[in-house]
Amino acid sequence: MPIALTDEYYMAKAIELAKKGWYSTQPNPRVGCILVRDDHIIAQGWHQYAGQGHAEVNALAQLAHNSSNIQGIAKGATAYVTLEPCSHFGKTPPCSEALITAGVQRVVVAMADPNPLVAGRGLKRLEEQGIAIRCGVLENESRALNLGFIQRMLIQRPNIRCKMAMSLDGRTAMANGESQWITGADAREDVQRLRAESSAILTGIGTVLADNPAMNVRSQNYDTMGRQPDRVILDSHLQIANEAKMFALSGKTIVLTHEQTSPQEKITALSNQGVVVDFLPLSGASLSLVALMPWLAKQQYNDVLLEAGATLTGAMLQAGLVDELIIYMAPQLMGSDARGLFNLSGLESMQDNIHLSIKDIRAVGKDYRIIAKPLAA
C-alpha cells in the first residue's frame, strides 16, 4: 500500500481517538496519537482533560505499561498526531521531547499548532534530532476538531455559535413572553450536547430576568468529566437578582457589567455568593461587543454558545460576531403578535440583508435543526 494511503489510514484513526475528548479538553485542543511499528498499532492515546497527559504522552504510557522509564520504548516507530507536538513547558512537559526520548523515528502530523508558544517549534525540534516529519495529512479533518481553539489563537476570539428555537413562522415567544416549550424533548437534548461542547454560555440580562435559566449541562449523555461551561451574563447596569437560580449550581457564573453603573454593594453581594463580576466599557447604552471578544479569548474560551434573546443575538449578528447559527424549528405557528427571532435594525433594502449559507438541515425528533453560517458582506 502506498505510504500516503497508509498515513491517511492511521491519521484517521488518530482523529477518531481525539474525538474521545470532545466534551472534556477545554481550554486545550482535542488531540489523538497513534504509534505504529512494522505496520501494527502498538499504542494509542488521546488528550482527556486539561492539566492531564497529552495524547502523545498517554500513548507512550500505554506502550510502557505506565513505566516511568520510557527510554527507547518506541524505537523505530512512527507517531501519527492530529496536532503538532508541543515544545514548551505548560502544565505538562513538552511532547516533542517525550517522542525524542522514546526513540520515535518518524512523526506524521495533521496540522501545525497555531498556538504562538508552539507554531512550528515542535516540528523543528523533532527535525533537529533527525526525526523524519510529514505535515498536512488529513488537515481539514483535524482542523474540524478544534475550530474554536484555532480561531482563538489566530484572531483572539472564540468560535461563537448562536442557538435559537422558533416556530415555523419564525417566532420565539408569545407576546407575553411565554416560550416553554417551543421545541420537543429531542431538540432540547441536542442543546445539552451543544452546551457540553462549549467553554462558556453567553446570554444577556434580559433573558436572565425573563426566564431565570439554569444554563448548565444536565444530561448524563455527555462525558464532560464533571466540567460545566462557564455562564457569562452581559448586564450593563447590574440588574441581576441576588437569588438567580444559576448561582446555586455547579460551575462558574461571571457577570460582565460597567464599573460606573454598578453599585459597589451589589458587586459585594454577588461576590459573596461566588459570582465573578468583571467590567467592560460601554458602547452607547450597551456593553461593548468589540471589547467582549478579547475578554472571552483571555478566559481561554474556545467555543462559546450564545443563548440569548432577539436584541443581543441581533446585535452580535450585525457586528459580524456570530460564526454559526443553530436554529431549531418547531412545526407550529405562533402568530403575528408573537416575538421575532432577531432584532435587526437598519435593513432597508435587499442588499442590506444578512445572507446565510445553509450547511445542514435535519430532523431532530419532531423538530428540524438548521445549521447556517453568516456570509461576509
Q: Residue 216: which of 232, 196, 186 has the closest Cα?
A: 196
Catalytic residue selected from 8, 56, 127, 178: 56
Report pLDDT digits (tens) over 96-137.
Answer: 888 888 889 999 999 999 988 877 888 889 899 999 999 999
Question: Does the pLDDT value for residue 2 go beyond 60?
Answer: no
Mean pLDDT, to the nearest integer, of 237-247? 92
- ∠ CA 195-371-360, rounded to 5°: 125
Over the chain, what HEC string results?
A: CCHHHHHHHHHHHHHHHHHHHCCCCCCCCCCEEEEEECCEEEEEEECCCCCCCCHHHHHHHHHCCCCCCCCCCCCCCEEEECCCCCCCCCCCCCHHHHHHHHCCCEEEECCCCCCCCCCCHHHHHHHHCCCEEEECCCHHHHHCCCHHHHHHHHHCCCEEEEEEEEECCCEEECCCCCCCCCCCHHHHHHHHHHHHHCCEEEEEHHHHHHHCCCCCCCCCCCCCCCCCCEEEEECCCCCCCCCCHHHHCCCCEEEEECHHHCCHHHHHHHHHCCCEEEECCEECCEECHHHHHHHHHHCCCCEEEECCCHHHHHHHHHCCCCCEEEEEEECCCCCCCCEECCCCCCCCCHHHCCCEEEEEEEEECCEEEEEEEECCC
Please determine, for residue 246, whether its predicted confidence score (pLDDT) is greater than 70: yes
CA 370 from chain centre, in angstroms, equals 19
For residue 226, the tally of other CB atoms under 10 A from its CB is 9
Whether the CB-CB separation of 229 and 29 falls below 8 Å is answered with no
Residue pLDDT, tens place only, 27-62: 999 999 999 998 999 999 999 998 888 998 999 988
% residues pLDDT > 70 (the chain) = 95
pLDDT > 60? residue 69:
no
Residue 199 vs residues 74, 91, 327: alpha-carbon distances, Å: 35, 19, 20
Apex 133 CA angle, 130 and 137, nearest 5? 170
| 56 catalytically annotated | yes
Q: Is the pLDDT of residue 370 over 50?
A: yes
Burial of 189 (0-12, 13-18, 19+ CB in 10 A): middle
Strand partners for 358: 372
pLDDT recorded at residue 343: 81
Give the pLDDT confidence score for residue 177 in this predicted structure.
75
pLDDT tens digits along 342-355:
888 877 777 778 89
The pLDDT value given to residue 122: 86
What's the mean per-residue pLDDT of the chain? Answer: 90
Q: Considering only residues 107 and 93, tell me which one the structure prediction assigns the higher pLDDT.
A: 107
Write the pLDDT tens digit of every residue in 280-293: 999 988 999 999 99
328 forms beta bridges with 165, 369
Task: Quote the pLDDT of residue 66.
Answer: 46
Model pLDDT, residue 89? 59
pLDDT at position 88 over 70:
no
Question: CA separation (Å) from 188 to 3, 77, 101, 122, 177?
Answer: 45, 46, 48, 42, 19
Q: Which of 59-63, 298-302, 327-331 has the lowest mean pLDDT?
A: 59-63
What pLDDT was estimated at residue 226?
86
Region of poorest pLDDT, from 180-184, 319-323, 368-372? 180-184
What pTM, to 2 d.p., does this model score?
0.91
- 190-219 confidence digits (pLDDT tens): 999 999 999 999 999 999 998 899 999 999
pLDDT at position 4, please? 46
